[in-house]
Structure 1
Amino acid sequence: MAEFGRLALLFALGLAGYNLVAAVAGRRWDGALTSARNGLLGVAVLLTGAVAALLTALLTHDFSIRYVAENSSLEMPRIFIFTALWGGQAGSLLFWAWMLSALAALAVWLHFYAEARLIPWVIAVLSGIQLFFLLVINFLTNPFEKLPVVLPNGRGLNPLLQDPGMLVHPPLLLSGYVSWSIPFAFAAAALITGRLDRDWLQVTRAWAMLAWLVQGAGLVVGGWWAYHVLGWGGYWGWDPVENVALLPWLVGTAFIHSLMVQERRGMLKLWNFGLIMAAFNLSIFGTFVVRSGVLTSVHSFAQSSVGPAFFTFLGISLAASAALIFYRLPVLRTQGDFESLLSREAAFLLNNLLLVGIAFATLWGTIFPLLSEAVRGEKLTVGPPFYNQVNGPLLLGLLLLMGVGPLMGWRRTRPAALLRDLLGPALAGLVAVGLLFAVGIRLTEALLGFWAVVFVAGTVFLEFYRAVRVRRRAVGEGIIPALIGVIGRNRRRYGGYIVHLGILLMAVGVIGSNFFKLEREFTVRPGETFSLGRYTLRFERLGEWTDPGVRNVGALITQVEPFERELLPHRKFYRNWEQTPASHIEVVTVAPWLEDLYVFLTGWAADGSATIHVFVNPLVPFVWLGAAVALFGGVLAAWPARQTRAAPAAVPARGVVAGGG
């Protein structure tokens, strides 16, 4: 298998180089272009073979291969063998290249004839990206490198990765990174050829939506994994690797909104090209940060030889992107002016500024330790307080814009009409704040956040109400059929509104878990009780047991109040990973109060006592519920419409939405 995998990678490298040359030649020679298209499919087939070879080696425990020996063992549950495929650096890069080859082949086959003038350069750009990754894989971190001797057993996968979340999170996140390559290639091709009309937008939007959805799902699953595995009671810690994964998603979100202005008014062309170029380059930056080990993170690999290669490629990509935009700068100027600050165009521009501002603040906080070390010789860390203080107001502004934007019209909006539309949602928010104040919530930041959530929800429901009312009058349907009909006839617009509703639900969870979380650590002896909030727990005893290759130490705890149940938080010590134990954390969602009781075993002593860390995390279930709603809305918004061409510019589409207007 090792020899087959090495040969497949070498042939894929050679074929990617050929495709690059043939695609450029294919501008004037149809035969070369067809050959390059077929060559993309060939690279996908070869890399599929390489992935199959590595997976077979993992499943058969071929410990003559270094990657297999370092990332698997005889004791590992078979299901986590699949996790080992992307659990190490070489395997994850192979997965990156494989997904790129599959998406590149699919994109070119789908658009080969419809976008004939762009396709030669699309193939060339994608082949250039493939060429870089295959050079790195073949010569710097080959997953099929042989060991001098065959080991009887492997080291096993990092215990933190032997979790169901790792079956989903890395492939989603890597696929999200990869997916930005497709819209980047079409944007680059449009700039090279000068075909800057709406056609490239139609193709690019579909692939950008795919990248946005997949990477968004990866971020959510990553948060769920961190919440259930790492033991610090949270789902987002502003870790450097979390940050760099968020960056392309933020910029991509801005692009998905901004392109609607170009579709309708021919404006923000420069913004759109800049945003999609930035999304791709930030995905490469994220890959560089994780692979180089230059920043300390629970998610990153150790320092390796691939860091300089990725840094060089990132520099080349940034320079090429900037050069292309500068080359076409005269024709990227806005067609038309902003007629009023109270217009949908202005709302979209403000949306861009806020999202890019959040992305820049996050990027600055992430790279600041490197800059401080380079300038002062001292690596200064940037923690969550910085991000919360800087990004918090920007996120609040973005939330409010989600409420105001859908009620604005193109070109200009009458202030009196806008205020009339906003009055009801604003009053609903005040009523909600009054009720929260009456039940004892006094924290100003939390009350402001809840007001914003209710206000925005009111404007979204107002849009749904108006559309349903019009449809019911027109066709005489009931409320539910009319609602389904409204969504079905304009999935892009109302799917985007559903995304906004999902984000509002997530905001409820974020506000509750950040402002009202309770936390305390207890050291208790068997039979002692301890309390936090409304919960009373009793520590019964420590226990120890073994599973294949794993030693477990747990604390048997009885929850006494308000419900009685048994909890067993425990630590898992894997062979060869004694210094990196995994944790089983008891997370109990209490439905009546919509909060999580979170119990983590921190440590224990020879006298039988245990140290237990307990959190009460209010409203966290709304984070996961909101994410599911947002992803559902994103799928609706991304679903292809019956018409492939954009509607005429004179037909308005309302809404500042993630999926469309």
Structure 2
Amino acid sequence: MYLFANATIYIGLAVAIYSLLVMTFGISTKKQMYVNSGKGGMIALFVCAALAMLSLFYLLATSQFQYQYVTDYTSSELPIIYKFTALWAGNAGSLLLWTFFLTLYAIMVAFSRKMKGNPMVPYISAILLANAVFFFFILGFVAKPFAVLSSVPAEGRGLNPMLQNPGMIIHPVTLYLGYVGLSVPFAFAMAALILKNVDDFWIKMTRRWTIVAWLFLSLGNIFGAQWAYVELGWGGYWAWDPVENASFMPWLTATAFLHSVMIQERKNMLKIWNISLIIVSYALTLFGTFLVRSGVLTSVHAFANSNLGLYFLIFMGVAVIGSLYVLMSRYNLLKRSAGEFQSFVSKESSFLINNLLLVGAAFAVFWGTIFPLVSEAVRGTKVTVGIPFFNTVEAPILLSMMFVMAVCPMLAWQRSTLKNLKKNFLIPAILAVIGMMLMVVLGIQKAWAVIGYGVIILLFITHFLEFYRGVKARRKMTGESPFIALYRLMVKNRRRYGGYLVHLGIAFITMGIIGSQNYDLQTMKTVSLGQSIDIGAYRINYERLDQKKEGTNDIVYAGVTVFKDGKRLGSYEPKKIFYGNADSEPSSEVAIISSLKEDLYIVLSAWENDGKATFVVKVNPMMDWLWIGSFMIVIGALFAAWKGKYQNITPRYTGVLSEVS
């Protein structure tokens, strides 16, 4: 097994190098036979990555402790599902997963029916193959998944208890699918520049790829937030941790890219900006991988210190410098073919403002994340940037983006007249102001909360009007029933109305953020058996403290009964789990009572021999709306990407690899 498993890596590296060289030679000589050979090598490369994955899965599942990776991340008592998911618990395994997805994406692009005969394919393939060479090199010589120990231990160290959660089965996979997925539009963009193609063909061909990558990044962040909320026991869902930021930054720039490409398609504008955005998004995926694996920053999510960071830093530098060189070499060509803005008050301008806000948010997160490194390099002292900095900077940016999202549907292309603005915005603005006044009357006094909810009301109204006017116009033309008209309106304009669903999802998430950040309650109290804890409208009666064993794990749990406004809600058992691995820190299993209004969050923090126990109790308003909004984002993105049409697009090039095509 050792020889076979390692052979998949080293043969994969040899095949990746061969395929890159022969593909490059085919491009330079314009010989189709060499390009076909390179494409055949890509299939072999995918097979090597798949076999390596299956090999590691087998070793993990069967507890082959002679392999260092198996010893480091599993134990014989570990449930089989977590033995499988241990594949992405460490550097070597997670990079193998990354490589598998990369080779999968590469052959999907190279052998896509819609890309058949397209002269961009060899260039795209070569760029993706260059990535594959790097990752196979790392697996072969730096982070070796099949390294063998000199002596076989009797037992493995086990999986980090925090990773033994259903959320961590899905979170890394979706995140890597998003990270790797952004390499596809990046490869398309570079291929288009090399071929001196300055139209929007490459954007149309990568639209679905970009949406899918963005969707997986969204899912990765959502599952990560949910995992943090239920597993870490601190009552929050986002701590601006460096590794959280690493996945959030490319999400922000990819979101900006998805918006700005619509301006290029419709108005032939922002060509240089769009290329720059996709370069930055791709570079941020590598930067995030560097942060996670370099050990330069402390994070609950990060892998152990290793020398991987230097390799990723070098690769990222080469990729960014190379892509910027290609961009600058085509700068004049892109600039000559670009359109211009005709009015500041227009849909185009709102898209641009939205882009600037998203990029500004990404830069603020980037600066806050790297500042400890900068301070240590300049002053010799690592100054940590905490949650208050990020909240203070990002909150007004988020509200500004929400406002732009609210007004954008009501603006006209090219130029909005005063009459048009009055017609579209007067009633929504009045209703939003009335809504804000009602909130003040109902007791919402904090200025940011009132403004935030007012902007959300405006967004709901303007988006409702978009759906209403579209249905009304369609019914007038076709005589269809309202529901049939709505369905067909959305199906025939998938990207537009899918985008609106995403906007509504973000509005729901913002509702949850505003409520949970501004009106949460928290108490920490030590009580004896029979005593109660009061918080808000809730009373928690502490009734028992007990202990049990599950497998090799010891569990200490408290029995509590929860009442709200005097009405019994039920009995719950917050727990503390001590894992069989003595090196593991105990983890909390939180009792959460959810409703659309708020969550009651109960953590068993500590206890004493006489039965006294310390509980941390929080009331988190509007939390369910955060998860509802996340679900709506997924639905909107799937709707926008599903069965999209390319509208019989024909490639137009100034530089053509005719013999290869």
Is TM more than 0.5 here? yes
Alpha-carbon contact 1:40-1:101 (below 8 Å) kept? yes
1:24-62 CA distances to partner (integer Å, 9 max, x unpaired)?
112211011111111111111111000000001111111
- Kept in 2, the 8 Å contact 1:424–1:458? The answer is no
Partner of 1:168: helix, strand, or coil? Answer: helix
1:446-500 CA-to-partner distances (Å, cap 9, x unmatched) read: 1100000000111111110000001111111221111111101111111111111
Cα distance in 1 for residues equivalent to 2:422 and 2:127: 48
Does 2:418 correspond to 1:415?
A: yes
CA contact (8 A) 2:160 2:584 kept: no
* Aligned residues of 1:347 and 1:401 also touching (Cα < 8 A): yes
Structure 1 position 244, deviation (Å): 0.9
1:512: which partner in 2? 515
Shift of 1:577: 4.6
Q: Paired residue for 2:575? A: 570
Instruction: Give per-residue Cα distances to partners, 1:519-553, cap 9 Å, x unaligned.
Output: 11111111111111011011122211111121111
| Amino acid in the other structure paired with 1:486 | L
Whether the 8 Å CA contact 2:205–2:646 is kept in 1: the answer is no
Say which of 304, 307, 313 aligns to 1:305.
Answer: 307
Matched, 1:354 2:361: no
1:99 aligns with 2:101: yes
Change in 2 beyond 3 A, CA 1:113/1:394: closer
SS at match of 2:34: helix
Match of 1:89 among 91, 106, 121: 91
Q: 1:575-654, aligned counterparts within 5 Å?
A: 575-591=580-596, 594-645=597-648
Tell me, what secondary structure is at the counterpart of 1:26? helix
Contact kept in structure 2, 1:112 and 1:119, CA below 8 Å = no
- 5 Å matches for 1:102-117? 102-110=104-112, 113-114=115-116, 116-117=118-119
> How far apart are 1:111 and its partner, in Å?
5.8
Q: 1:337 deviation in Å?
A: 1.8
Deviations 1:193-223 (A, max 9, x none): 2112221111222211111001101100110
Per-residue displacement from partner, 1:280-323 (whole Å, max 9, x unpaired)?
Answer: 10000001100111111110012102111111111111111211
Q: 1:231 aligns with which of 233, 258, 263?
A: 233
Return closer, same or farther for 1:590/1:346 CA change in 2, 3 Å cut-off: closer
Contact 2:345 2:411 in 1 (8 A): yes
Equivalent-residue separation in structure 1 for 2:467 and 2:517 (angstroms): 31
Q: Which residue of 2 aligns with 1:657?
A: none
Match in the other structure for 1:179: 181
* TM-score, scaled to structure 1: 0.96
Q: Within 2, Cα distance between the matches of 1:313 and 1:45?
A: 25
Aligned to 1:290: 292
Number of the residue aligned with 2:19: 19
Give, in whole Å, the separation in 2 of the partners of 1:332 and 1:553.
65
> Conserved in 2, the CA contact under 8 Å of 1:187 and 1:204?
no
**TM-score with structure 2 length normalisation?**
0.96
The answer to whether the Cα contact below 8 Å between 2:529 and 2:543 also exists between their aligned partners in 1 is: yes
With over 3 angstroms needed to count, the CA separation of the structure-2 counterparts of 1:531 and 1:646, relative to structure 1, is farther
Residue in structure 2 matched with residue 132 of structure 1 by the alignment: 134
CA distance in 1, matches of 2:164, 2:7: 30
SS at match of 2:333: helix
- Could you say which residue in structure 2 is the equivalent of 1:652? none
CA distance in 1, matches of 2:475, 2:115: 42
What is the CA–CA distance in structure 2 between the aligned matches of 1:215 and 1:2, rounded to whole Å? 34
Query: What is the rounded CA distance, in whole Å, between the counterparts of 1:220 and 1:343 in structure 2?
Result: 33
Please tell me whether the aligned partners of residues 109 and 115 of structure 2 are also in contact (alpha carbons under 8 angstroms): no
Secondary structure of the residue that 1:580 maps to in structure 2? coil
Query: What SS does structure 1 have at the residue aligned with 2:443?
Result: coil
What is the distance in 2 between the residues matched to 1:409 and 1:112? 34
Match of 1:382 in 2: 385
- Aligned-pair CA distance for 1:395: 1.1
In structure 1, C-alpha distance between the alignment counterparts of 2:649 and 2:633, rounded to whole Å: 24
Q: List per-residue Cα deviations over 1:354-382 (Å, max 9, x = no partner).
A: 10000000000000000000000000011
Does structure 2 conserve the Cα–Cα contact (< 8 Å) formed by 1:190 and 1:196?
yes
**What code does the residue aligned with 2:626 have?**
V
Q: Match for residue 320 of structure 2?
A: 318
Q: 2:525–2:615: 8 Å Cα contact kept in structure 1?
A: yes
Paired residues of 1:344 and 1:411 also in contact (CA < 8 A): yes
Distance 1:557 1:41 in 2: 57
State whether residues 82 and 167 of structure 1, in contact with CA within 8 Å, keep that contact through their aligned partners in structure 2: no
How big is each residue's C-alpha offset from its partner over 1:534-580, in whole Å with a ceiling of 9 and x where there is no partner? 11011122211111121111121121334241111111111225442
Maintained 8 Å contact 1:159/1:577: no
- Out of 384, 394, 397, which is 1:394 matched to? 397
Contact 1:89–1:291 under 8 Å retained in 2: yes
Q: Which residue is equivalent to 2:346?
A: 343
Say whether 1:9 aligns with 2:5. Answer: no
Q: CA deviation at 1:114?
A: 4.2
User: C-alpha deviations, 1:162-215, integer Å up to 9, x for none?
Assistant: 011111001111111111111111111111121122211112222111110011
Match of 1:301, SS state, is coil
Question: Measured at CA, do residues 395 and 115 of structure 1 come closer, stay the same or move farther in structure 2, by a change above 3 Å?
Answer: farther
> How much has 1:429 moved relative to structure 2?
1.4
Whether the 8 Å CA contact 2:12–2:136 is kept in 1: the answer is yes
Q: Superposed, which structure 2 residues align to 1:101-250 within 5 Å? A: 101-110=103-112, 113-114=115-116, 116-250=118-252
1:455-474 pair list within 5 angstroms: 455-474=458-477
Partner Cα distance (2:362, 2:418) in 1: 31
2:260 to 258, 261, 268: 258
How far apart are the structure 2 equivalents of 1:116 and 1:646? Answer: 11
Taking the aligned partners of 2:431 and 2:16, their CA distance within structure 1 comes to: 58
Structure 1's 289 and 260: CA in aligned 2 closer, same or farther, altered over 3 A? same
Instruction: For 1:8 and 1:188, locate their aligned partners in 2 and report how far apart those are by CA, in whole Å.
Output: 30
Which one of the candidate residues 435, 439, 446 is aligned to 1:436?
A: 439
Q: CA deviation at 1:511?
A: 0.9
Q: Distance in 1 between matches of 2:401 and 2:26?
A: 45
Q: Give the secondary structure class of the aligned counterpart of 2:340.
A: coil
Distance 1:241 1:354, change over 3 A: same
For structure 2, the residue ranges without an aligned partner over 5 or more in a row are: 651-661
Q: How many residues align?
A: 645
- CA-to-aligned-CA distance 1:63-95 (integer Å, 9 cap, x gap): 111111111111111111121011111100100
Q: Indicate yes or no: 2:505 matched with 1:502.
A: yes
1:540 correspondence with 2:543: yes
Alpha-carbon distance in structure 1 between the residues aligned to 2:576 and 2:602: 12
**Matched position secondary structure for 1:62:** coil
- Following superposition, the deviation at residue 646 of structure 1 comes to 6.8
Question: Take 1:287 and 1:269, find their aligned partners in 2: how far apart are those partners?
Answer: 28
Deviates most, 535-544 or 214-223: 535-544
Among all aligned residue pairs of Structure 1 and Structure 2, give the percentage whose two residues are the same amino acid. Answer: 41
Task: Kindly indicate whether residue 558 of structure 2 is the aligned counterpart of residue 527 of structure 1.
Answer: no
- RMSD (CA atoms): 1.4
Q: Note the C-alpha offset of 1:434.
A: 2.3
Distance 1:78 1:563 in 2: 39
The answer on whether the counterparts of 1:290 and 1:301 sit within 8 Å (CA) in structure 2 is yes
Report the alpha carbon displacement of residue 152 of structure 1 after superposing the two structures with TM: 2.0
Q: After the TM superposition, which segments of 4 or more aligned residues of structure 1 sit over 4 Å from their partners? A: 111-115
Higher mean alpha-carbon deviation, 504-513 vs 408-417, is at 408-417
**Aligned counterpart, 1:79:** 81
Retained in 1: the 8 A contact 2:494–2:640?
A: yes
